Amino acid sequence: MKTAKRMEDIPFSGIRKVFEEIGRREKNGEEIIHLEIGRPDFDTPAHIKSAAKQALDQGLVHYTSNTGLPELRRAIADKFASDNGLDYQPDSEIIVTIGANEAVFIAMMALLNPGDEVLIPSPCWTHYYQCAKLCGAVPVPVPLKKENRYLPRAADYEPYLSPKTRMIVINTPHNPTGAVYDRGILQDLADFAEAHDLFVLSDEIYEKLIYDGHRHISFAALPNMHERTVTINGMSKIYAMTGWRLGYAAAPKRLAEAMVRVHQYTTVCAVTFAQYGGYAALSESQDEVDRMVKAFDERRRLVCERLQGMPGIELIVPNGAFYVLPSVQKLGLDAQECAEYLLNTAKIAVVPGDAFGEFAQGTIRISYANSYENLEKAMNQMQIALEARS
């Protein structure tokens, strides 16, 4: 049996390969510190779990509306209004999805025709590439330059524009660089999108994980951008809910309706009791979020400070998410070799940068979503391993 032609160009995720190798080693008794993970190490806050448990106990176990529980959509609309200055109608412009993953997929399915081109910054979370390909569209990587601190500029996009370009993808705070885009950068991209009449997919899932006084700006809040933007967000990273698979998308009615049709014929609705948890997450105290962000910030400072003192490592200090993407070029190793060396010698797992696209060569992604103690230990082991090479 042959699989569909479209699958020939859809690889397994590069990060998955790292997980498999680590799993194999751990089974053999090796002790490895995980700096490859893209998920908070915290437990989901108790009040969120209680709300989901209560929903189950009350027999709230059936389908919800395709677009999600009305009270959850209302809470999402309120969050957009208060945090982002965005006005979305909960009944027609907000869709609760199975994670931001699904939101990206349904947005692309609804907006892209076969052969359409999507400009995607590189490095980036490669899901955008594969989803575009699944839609028959063509992902076009736009290299982000290290010398520009991996911040995108319209001028970087211009050479990749063609009559087939239909969408640009924006992700701030950014995975894997941790970069946060300020208003100037976003306005530059907004002018570009308007000049060339492009849709914009704005993935804002790391919105609250932001440090050093930086502020998140929603792309759709820029003048004239609401009409051409799909805003994507979710509970996974902010509320430590990756396994709940709860995300959401917001778009002007005409676009949202098309997205709902894809959602209807794939997932129907997000998991009902998870949605009750999501409602509690958005509508109750945010103290736990503040506590987690503070802890991430302390870990970020520790990791950056330690990396800056290591031979062969060059670092752009990130302002958001929970990743650092240091360059390891001066070590004389490529990304894969460096990740293998660190796994073998320092017993720490990182992701080779090329898992995030061809323009992340010579980098490794370190996630600081691990305890302060483990990070201290990991940085000590990494320092010893790198000093042994220099």
Ligand X SMILES: Cc1ncc(COP(=O)(O)O)c(C=O)c1O
Nearer to ligand X, 207 or 333 (CB): 207
Closest to ligand X by CB, 175 or 275: 175
H/E element holding 166? strand 165-171
Comparison of 97 and 165: residue with beta carbon closer to ligand X: 97
Q: Which is nearer to ligand X, 161 or 355 (CB)?
A: 355
**CB nearest ligand X: which residue?**
99
Q: Applying CB under 6 A, does 234 fall inside the site for ligand X? A: yes
* Minimum CB distance to ligand X smaller for 44 or for 175: 175
Count how many Cα atoms sit within 13 Å of the Cα of residue 382 in the half-sphere of its side chain: 31
Buried b (16+ CB within 10 A) or exposed e, 73-104: bbbbbebbeeebebebebebbbbbbbbbbbbb
Q: Binding of ligand X at residue 242 (CB under 6 A)?
A: yes
Residue 186 in contact with residue 219, Cβ under 8 Å? yes
The minimum distance between CB 235 and ligand X, in angstroms, equals 7
Interface with ligand X (CB under 6 A), residue from 33, 35, 38, 84: 38
Cβ-contact 172, 218 below 8 angstroms: no
Instruction: Using only the alpha carbons of the chain, give its radius of gyration.
Output: 21
Scanning 99-107, 150-158, 186-194, 362-370 for contacts with ligand X by CB under 6 A, the matching segment is 99-107
Nearer to ligand X, 106 or 331 (CB): 106
Q: What angle do CA 133, 136, 142 make, to 5 degrees?
A: 50
Q: Are the C-beta atoms of 353 and 361 separated by less than 8 Å?
A: yes
Question: Would you count residue 101 as binding ligand X (CB under 6 A)?
Answer: yes
Residue 93 and residue 254: Cα distance in Å, rounded? Answer: 8
Q: Check residue 100 for interaction with ligand X (CB under 6 A).
A: yes
| Integer Cα distance of 321 and 305 in angstroms | 17
Categorise residue 321: left if φ over 0, alpha if ψ from -120 to 50, beta otherwise.
Answer: left
**Residue 125 lies near ligand X (rule: CB under 6 A):** yes
The answer to whether 175 contacts ligand X (rule: CB under 6 A) is yes
Site for ligand X in 349-378 (CB under 6 A): none
Distance CA 377, CA 303 (A): 11
Smallest gap from Cβ 322 to ligand X, in A, equals 10
Q: 254 exposed, middle or buried (CB, 10 Å; 0-12, 13-18, 19+)?
A: exposed
Would you count residue 247 as binding ligand X (CB under 6 A)? Answer: yes
**Contact status: 218 vs ligand X (CB under 6 A):** no
Site for ligand X contains 93 (CB under 6 A): no
Q: Does 171 bind ligand X (CB under 6 A)?
A: yes
Residue 248 touching ligand X (CB under 6 A): no
Asked whether position 275 contacts ligand X by CB under 6 A, the answer is: no
Residues that bind ligand X (CB under 6 A): 38, 99-101, 125, 171, 175, 203, 205, 234, 236, 242, 247
